[in-house]
A and B are shown apart, each in its own frame.
Chain A
Amino acid sequence: MTDAQLPTADHPLRAHSPAVSASRARRWGSFFYAEQVLRVMRGYGWSVFLYSVGQPVAYLFAMGIGLASLVNANSTSVFGGVNYLTFIAPALLVSSAVMTASGDFSYPIMDGFKWRRVFYGPHASPLVPQQIAAGHIMASALKFLVQSVVYFVIVAMFGASPSPWGWVSAIVATVAGLSFGLPLMAYASTITKDSGQFALVQRFIVVPLFLFSGTFFPLDSLPLGVRWIGWISPVWHGTQLGRVFTYGLEESPVLTLTHVVFLVGAAAAGWTLTRRQFVRRMGA
């Protein structure tokens, strides 16, 4: 057993005053919590990278190059005059961000409130619940952005982003990830018992959104009965907006604006509901 002592009055190490702590936490608390999330992510950075970038790149090879050789040989007119790789690259970029969001905004929220209760550690510090929510969101958004930028660079190297505005699609993918992820986070923060809800979300929401959002073929080619899935899908709105930037998809400006409003609106609504639910759950 050691005889270690805490610092005494003449010890050189001194924390700043509680008033300074509170003031800094009020101003920067969300960033402090984001730092924690990023440190945790760093612990398994390689698996994050492989999942986030490796998977869409695999799709890119399989669909954009393998399948594309068949598709391009028949027709490119159905894809707006661009080759198949250029057509699906923005869709895969957005889908990848949305899939990452479906992971980041589901189980980790349950973990924070219920399993390992990690939200309650910072909750006992000067941070407030809405900052914990915001920190989680900000760290995840940064992750989406980094993975989207890396992925976009790969897409550009394949020559699948002919427009000089193509880089904006990385930002679009990030916002699309949030527009799907934040409503999911709001829902996840209401769950007190895991009865397989997230598996259902994955199978019955994420997968259909991936398949029926104009990812692999234009939404117009689907029958009307399932086309609505695309209209309410962040994947479709993000994908179409991404196509506007990567290869100059021609569509009405109203529709383009609709994509922006949908994505930002869904993200903002999700953030507001999440914030409310965090305060309700942690501040009762």
Chain B
Amino acid sequence: MNPPAVITAENLTKSYGELTAVDGISFEVSAGESFGLLGPNGAGKSTTMKMIGGVSHRTSGKLSIMGLDPETHGPEVRAHLGVVPQQDNLDEELKVRENLIVYGRYFGLPLSYLRPKADELLEFAQLTDKAKSRVDALSGGMKRRLTIARSLINEPKILLLDEPTTGLDPQARHILWDRLFRLKEQGVTLILTTHYMDEAEQLCDRLIVVDKGRIMAEGSPASLIREYSTREVVELRFGSERNTTIGVELEGVGERVETLPDRVLIYADDGESALEQVSARRLRPLTSLVRRSSLEDVFLRLTGRSLVD
């Protein structure tokens, strides 16, 4: 039996005047699941997150969080949630540890709980030695970890993460992923928006691919790749002047050829074999690479566009 759904969205729609940011999307998230919304900037991911958090009113459709409607029971819904917004909004004038304590007070938590809890979360976020520092002295990655620690002060069962690693260097991203993975192991339901396919692959059990406010596909990262792409991809670069013309000459190699301004992609289950066929046609790319298919390829297939434009 599947765990009960903690979030249910049905034909969820949000319009701002003429613009429809979220256009009738439906999905369910089970307890303990790690669920992602993958899509480019402006796809409607953050708007969906705001509606889940009860801080943005939907135009139509149904939405239930832990059995409650966030529009009518905003405080009750948000008391279940931890929220990591896209833009850090820490209290820069307060010390690192104080940020956690103050945030916990919004949940009516007593100081006898908050003081040791703040220390525990600082250790979890690897910020113990920064406890007495001012927030503006922290690096971007540290601020992000502090924001995540802050979101956990009320021991939420559901954690909303809006683009959690945007703007971070690779090392900081990996540290964050590690922390989030630990939370997942402890049974916290993660709802994550991202436009990084590697992040979605690392963290999500299941995801929806969103574009222009609509769901383009839904499934696990592996099943989406299986359904919408081949096992491997050959990336060839012939120089920006020649990619388009050579793309035509490559027709018939592999299952599908996709020509982008900067490279040509050949979708094939056996990338090495496809590369041999390219050589057999006496085409000499400047660089070539055989790699596994990723969610980026799924997105390209579904929308004809790259995730990060």
Residues of A that sit less than 8 Å from B by CB: 1-2, 4-8, 13-16, 18-26, 28-29, 32-33, 35-36, 39-40, 43-44, 116-118, 120-128, 282-284
Contact = CB atoms under 8 A, between A and B. Distances in A.
Q: How large is the interface on B (under 10, 10 to 19, 20 to 34, 35 or more residues)?
A: 35 or more
B152 A6 contact: yes
Contacts of A124: 53, 55, 78, 81, 83, 85
Interface of B: 53, 55-57, 66, 73-76, 78-81, 83, 85, 87, 89-94, 98, 102-103, 105-109, 113, 116-117, 120-121, 123-124, 126, 128, 150, 152-155, 175, 178, 182-183, 186
A284 B79 contact: no
Contacts of B183: 6
24 contacts: A4-B123, A5-B182, A6-B120, A6-B155, A15-B113, A16-B108, A18-B66, A18-B76, A19-B79, A22-B73, A25-B106, A29-B106, A32-B105, A36-B106, A40-B93, A116-B89, A120-B85, A122-B106, A124-B83, A125-B78, A126-B75, A126-B79, A128-B74, A284-B57
B124 A5 contact: yes
A264 to B, nearest CB: 30
Contacts, number: 134
A35 B117 CA distance: 19
A283 B57 contact: yes
A19 B76 contact: yes
A122 B83 CA distance: 10
A279 to B, nearest CB: 11
Given A13-B116, A128-B74, A24 B93 contact: no
Given A25-B75, A126-B78, A116 B106 contact: no
Given A15-B109, A118-B91, A126-B106, A21 B79 contact: yes
Contact of B55 (A5, A20, A117, A123): A123
A43 to B, nearest CB: 5
A22 B79 contact: yes
Contacts of B75: 22, 25-26, 29, 126-128
B91 A7 contact: no
**Which of B85, B91, B150, B178 lies at the interface centre, i.e. has the most chain A CB atoms within 10 A of its CB?**
B91
B105 A2 contact: no
Contacts of A20: 108
